[in-house]
Amino acid sequence: MSWTYWKTVPNLIVAEMWRGVVELGGCPVKILVDPNRFEEGIMAPHRLFVPRGKEFIAEEAMRAWSGEAVYGPALAAGTHERGLIAAIERLVAIREAKRRGELPPGSPGGRQG
């Protein structure tokens, strides 16, 4: 599996939160300490990596959490809390449809290649 850089976050707590949201959609996330910073431990900036070709899952979760419109059936509700719930619901729906084999190739969460 080829990993690609997605985002740098301020600390490990935020990194774990984003990993939880993105992994609901079936997309694994790697968390590594930012090597360009001097801080260490839990409060050090961390980098998030996702598998190449799965960046859209992470981006959709970010848009939903921030309250922006999401591409796909789920729309962010307009507040951070409701937007996060919409993102989680969308990612769970993608995972369930994928498990049932209902997603066509090339669709978000569908089989690639």
- Answer whether residue 12 is part of any domain: yes
> Does the residue 113 lie in any domain?
no
For residue range 15-70, list pLDDT tens digits in order. Answer: 888 888 777 766 789 999 988 887 778 889 999 999 998 888 788 776 666 665 55
Is 109 among the domain residues?
Answer: no
Name the residue range of residue 44's domain: 3-100
Instruction: Give 34 or 93, the one with higher predicted confidence.
Output: 34
* Residue 54 covered by a domain: yes
Q: How far apart are CA 63 and CA 97, in angstroms?
A: 21
pTM over 0.75: no
In a domain, 30, yes or no: yes
Residue 108 within a domain: no
111 lies in a domain?
Answer: no
Q: Is residue 110 part of a domain?
A: no
Amino acid at 42: I
Task: Give Dmax (Cα) for the chain.
Answer: 47
Q: How is residue 110 annotated by DSSP?
A: S
Tell me how far apart the terminal alpha carbons of the chain are, to the nearest angstrom. Answer: 14
Residue 17: its H or E element:
helix 12-23
Number of domains in the chain: 1
